[in-house]
Amino acid sequence: MPNLITIETEMITLGQFLKLAEVIQSGGMAKWFLSEHEVFINQEPDNRRGRKLYPGDVVEIEGYGAFQVVN
């Protein structure tokens, strides 16, 4: 069961999501984090910090777990 991450907007970027999910401490760490860790969005690899995430998307990060975007 993935952890639920609630957003109050229509979408959120992957970089913003990482901070909201408390995977990183600041938005400036997103580029580095994505270059060092495997991230899967809806079971497909993606490392673009600007990738738009919408409610229902599932983000899996090895070593951190699975998260689902909800509103």
Q: Where are the domains of the chain?
A: 3-70
Half-sphere exposure of 19 (CA within 13 A, CB side): 13
The residue-averaged pLDDT of 21-38 equals 93
| Confidence band for 68, pLDDT divided at 50, 70 and 90 | very high
Q: Domain 3-70: give its CATH architecture.
A: Roll (3.10)
The Cβ of residue 70 has, within 10 Å, a number of other Cβ atoms equal to: 12
Q: What pLDDT is stored for residue 1 in this prediction?
A: 80
Please state whether the predicted TM-score (pTM) of the whole model is above 0.75: yes
- Mean pLDDT of the region 8-13: 96
**Half-sphere exposure for 23 (CA within 13 Å, toward CB):** 27
Would residue 19 be called left, alpha or beta, if left means φ above 0 and alpha means ψ between -120 and 50 degrees?
Answer: alpha
CB distance 66 to 3 below 8 Å:
yes
Q: Is 61 in a helix, a strand, or coil?
A: strand
